Amino acid sequence: MPDRQPLVLIADDDVAVRDALQFALGLAGLTVHAHGGGAELLADADLPYARCIILDDGTPHLNGFELLRRLHARNIRLPAIMLTNHATARLRARADAAGVRLVLEKPLMDNALVDSILTILRSEPDLAPPD
């Protein structure tokens, strides 16, 4: 996957959300692999090339927190943004403890997600998009 735009991986069980995110991030010049769940994301052959992941806290079978735990067990530590339907203080604290960079509540407003990903990519030299 070298010489491409930064790769963002998505794990969300809602196909409409996945499609909308993939479209919006693609318009921002990012390469996106959208998956229906964490197991699919873990099996993505391009996982080593990913620069950011977007997780859903409520995905059945393998929620965002369990997915992060499994990634960390593989020594894969990528900036993560968690999407949720209800961003409680408890969920935010749990996400912070798990190393999640940002928690965003659905429905997403404006360009909050795209702007956040671009900020993350610019703030980490080894994650920066190629010139």
pLDDT value for 61: 83
Q: Left, alpha or beta for 110 (phi > 0: left; psi -120 to 50: alpha)?
A: left
| For range 75-84, the mean pLDDT | 94
pTM: 0.88
Is the pLDDT at 129 greater than 50, yes or no? no
Sorting pLDDT into bands at 50, 70 and 90, what band is 126? low
Q: Collapsing DSSP states into helix, strand and coil, what is residue 126?
A: helix
Is residue 22 in some structural domain? yes
Domain contains 1? no
Domain residues for 22? 16-127
Q: Count other C-beta atoms under 10 Å from residue 14's C-beta.
A: 16
The CATH number of whichever domain residue 32 belongs to comes to 3.40.50.2300
Residue 11 lies in a domain: no
Domain assignment of residue 8, yes or no? no
Q: Would you say how long the chain is, in residues?
A: 131
Residue 83 falls within a domain, yes or no? Answer: yes
Please give the tally of structural domains in the chain: 1
CA–CA distances in Å: residue 115 to residues 44, 108, 121: 25, 12, 10
Give the whole-angstrom CA distance, residue 111 versus residue 124.
20
